[in-house]
Structure 1
Amino acid sequence: MASATQKITLASSRDIPFNKLVLSQSNVRRIKAGVSIEELAGSIARRGLIQSLHVRPVLDGEGAETGLFEVPAGGRRFRALELLVKQKRLNKSTPVPCVVSDANDGILIDEVSLAENIERAPLHPLDQFRAFLSLREKGMSDEEIAAAFFVSAQVVKQRLRLTSVSPMLLDVYAGDDMTLEQLMAFTVSDDHARQEQVWEALQHSWQKEPYQIRRMLTENTVRAADRRVRFVGLEAYETAGGAVLRDLFEDDQGGWVEDVPLLERLVAEKLKTEAETVAAEGWKWIEVSADFPYGHTHGLRHLQGTVLDLTNEDHATRQALRDEQDRLEAEHAEADELPDEVDARLGEIEEALEAVENRPLQYDAGEIAQAGVFVSIRHDGQLAVERGFVRPEDEISKECESRDASQEKDDVGNTAIPAAHHTVISVGGEVDQQEDEVDDGIKPLPDRLVTELTAERTLALRNKLADNPSIAFLAVLHKFCRDVFSRYISFNPAMEVSVRNTGFSLQAPGLSECPAAQAIEECHKAWEARLPADEAALWDWLVSLEGAEQAELFAHCAAFGVNALYEKADRYGGGTVTAHGIQQRLTEANRLGRATGLDMVQAGWRPTVENYLGRVTKARILEAVREGAGEDRVQLIDHLKKDDMAREAERLLADTGWLPEPLRLPGEPVDEATEGPVADEEPGEEVAEPVEDHAIVIAAE
């Protein structure tokens, strides 16, 4: 006969006055973790004791019950109740729900304490997020939820934002196939389809960092810190119906503007409105663009306007501003930090004083009628208006001026105000960076990239030559001899002593902000300020200069003749530039580079995703890292996708001083992998002939 299964008997439960309870010394919890005792006490005060305590009777030396009960499981709840008693928010004799086990139970009290702590299953974070959402849907505000669970309102907003991620991705997170940090990154966008596309692209990669997720979700957006957004104003963009992506979990510097076409339209409209205001001054032409390329005023005559005198009202305003500035600074001279309102007011005063000091120039009406204006956006988002530039075709000859001066005066007096000319803002022009997965061999550098790189090298060489008057004299003298003596042939020289300034038809973004360009511009403005306005007085002024000053000015002017630019030659010889001519130009440029001690690293060039690494093949990227950082660094990135590889390569090469071939001088390390036969050109493009001698390997993209 089979024996009956013995039934389990559960411990009884009853209410025990709190002052009859004592904390067991066998409680295994020794380290503080989780919600604090204070927060737990607040929760009990709000919601009551949700979970009973587990207790055992305390026995005396003879094994009799003493009327006290020890608490082996629920020690934190006991201490929270104890805190409430000390705060006189709870009577010490208040009955506490308890589960009472047998004092003579064979199970050790330590085992009970351990089991109670390790067998509990913590709430999954996603369940908490969804519970917060349920509370809000039932009428609780974010602030009320925050107060109920002792967190900040920002924490509640963050956790509620996590529930807005695609349900499919939430299921992935619930299955522990995605980290919380990755889930947080997906909240940047509300587009569930795009979120799922990004996860599909990354889930099989071993490297799917949160920053990559954010970058992919915002790759078609514009930072709120962008000059165009600052020019239009984020509020105006949102008023026009534009959406802004925000990151609640990291500093997003204002977020991302999602509707780029709308932003471009608002920029164009505001620029055009500003240009129409300037057009009322009577200028012949106005060019409008969000950003003009470096050298856009070269070849144009700049009018020398006169500064308007300060009116009595201007003098009074300036003095009042200075007095207020002195007073505020004196009042807070001893303060470690200025109050926000005072700091803001001082900033306003500085801007107002700057506006008074930088008064607009006044131009002759006849000059205005033949000159124009460039309207653009400064780097800080403010409007930039460059007035008074005369094109060569708009210059009025002396004969025409004297033939009918009175008629010209009438014409000027009745000049119609031209409409503002709006230049379409282009955001294109970048080389396709799509990864070539089929042929990953070393390919020749794209012609456009080499031209852009040598444009920056030309600027750096100009700046270096301008700092070396003796070398500049020698270079110009060398060119003069080749021009004067028939035994020499001057053909496509690097030193174009005309002096004919070379423009850069192809240039990477930000060329005007490179150190060499800034140094040249500052020097140029300094000399312009000293030159006489009347051309007839220029000769005598030059004679009056000391020899050292003449040499410095000579070197500055001579530097504008430097042309170290690579150009794609017509392979059939039908163009103005041949492969032999380019080779000769670059050879001479290298000679100047050696003589001046040109170092593109010292000139400020660093390999970045934008200027090199993101525009060449993976093999080129790996070769750059191999040369600059070593083979061991190559093994860290050779498995990455091209975009990730380029970004990591930028970090690895940041302080190595590595340069691509077009920026090196002969004798510097050369990419050995490029010395063999060049790879096949890409479909539909041509490959230029290689340049001999410290060859730069070139090919069409």
Structure 2
Amino acid sequence: MAIIHPKLSQLRLSPLNQRRAKPSAVEAMADDIEAHGLLQNLVAYEDDSLLWVFAGGRRYRELKTLVKRKGIRSSDTFPVELRTKEEAIELSLAENFQREDMHPADSIRAFAALRDTGMDAEDIAARFGQAVSFVYKMLRLSALAPALIDLIAKDQLSLEAARALTLTDDHDQQIKVCKAANGHAHTIRRMLTTEKVDTTSGVFLFVGHDAYEAKGGTITIDLFSQGAEGFADDPELVREIAEEKLDAIADEYRAIGWHEVRAGLDRPYDLYMKGSMYPATREPTEAEAERLTAIDAEMEAIAQAEGEDSERIDALSNERDAITEGLRAFNREQVAVGGVALWVAHDGTLGKSFYRAKAEPKPKAGSGEPQPLYSNSLVADLSRIKTRIVQEAVAADPALALDVLLDSLAGQLLHGAHSFQMTLEVQAKAVATDMPDELMATSDVRSVEDMMATRFAVVPTEGRFEAIRAMSHDDKMALLAGLVAMTVDGTVFAGGSPGQRHHHFEQIARASGVDIAARWSAPIGLFDKMRRAALIDLLRDEVGAPSAENCATIKKKTDLAVNVSERLPAHWLPAPMRIGAFDRAENEHEEFEADMDEDGSEQEGLADEEMA
């Protein structure tokens, strides 16, 4: 064994080298040799006056690359360890088997050391033949708490989890979250981004990077996600910009004259209850009709001459579609009674739906017929509040939640009941209980969904089954109660009427023992939504005729609402809110029967005020 220094021109790549696949990143490694020189000699045997390299083949290729770049010359000499041809196969195999990549922790520390010498990512990438993006990632990892890098070195923290921890620069928070998540990457990522908005989410795509950053928004880049996306640090700003954009679009529809325009970030929960409205189709103008006929003839001629897959047909087909689409539009009559709902879709596009918003006029009821106290929309709101309160009670009573679940399963699987007839629909769909602020001004009842998100935030998406299996009995029962409660639904939707499902709901409410009046009291906003005549009738029923007649002289409805609210007894509840209100759903003459007029209280209320 001897070290010699032959010219590069005397070397050849040996066919005995056991690594046959062409190595990758030769250009990058050539940069490294050019910067640092040949740090390890080649190994070769002599045959026919040439030296055949059987160990260090990649380094040999890198030297040849440098010759092409004119970084070195073929006449330059390099150290070569001389062996016999008989040793070549064994030594080549041994070298490749014994080669071991650097441990990730060592690589992270090495990149940090280079940064500390004053080199930036671009310098390091150029010197060592690495992609700049790769260097950035390694430097981000090197900014982790030293204790976490030690865990990587001990193979006690995966690189995936370490990458997730780079979403915060706070070392204390990194360590705290790592322990709380037990090193699970997905859980770490979720815990560090709960108060941020994913830049791939629909609402952020709707807003756009440029608009967000133009208003001073910042983004935490996630270099380890596909596409190098990240998280917007200011969710309130994202929401503000999105709402401004939606409002601007809504104003365009209002300017056209649509009867009702609703704009919100989420798709309206009650949209399915509204009758869809579709554009009317007009007859084409003379010019449009002539062009359509000409397009059809031209497409037929091309198909016969060139085949139906001709590219020329596509352009004509697109033109035809544009003309026919222009024939479909909402007319003035539709706009005058129609509604437009706008929201942000999951892919960041604008969601739109058109529906009939103004009901067709119907004859007024005779003076001798009793009028309902609460409009159908108000019954829907009150029953939704009641649902939220009962959900809260069920979530606090695991034994009751189990009974509710068993009742629903038994009713459907043993007795053939339909899911829509049950209070609990076993379809894993949370029942929305969002309410206008003015109706919740006197109550601190939170939605069960929010409470569950807080209490069970540590339940991971990946490994969820194992996490649930490891829970204590009390935690499992609390989880059961909360999840069951989220699906309990006693809402009477606007335009509907109580049915069997609502009767079941009353049984659950009664079994929960909840005191509705202790969790909610009627705010002034409730009385503002009621008709003038209904307020007088309510006062007559609850307080007496003298009080009702006294208040009937009040001209302004706002003043009347205040007087009624002050005169009602303590702990008073509107009829739909009382336990047992829907026990007799088949009785169509209860005082809380929904007013079938879709315009609710406002039209009738205006008429009453005009007559007063």
The structure with the greater share of residues assigned to helix is: 2
TM-score by length of 1: 0.44
TM-score by length of 2: 0.49
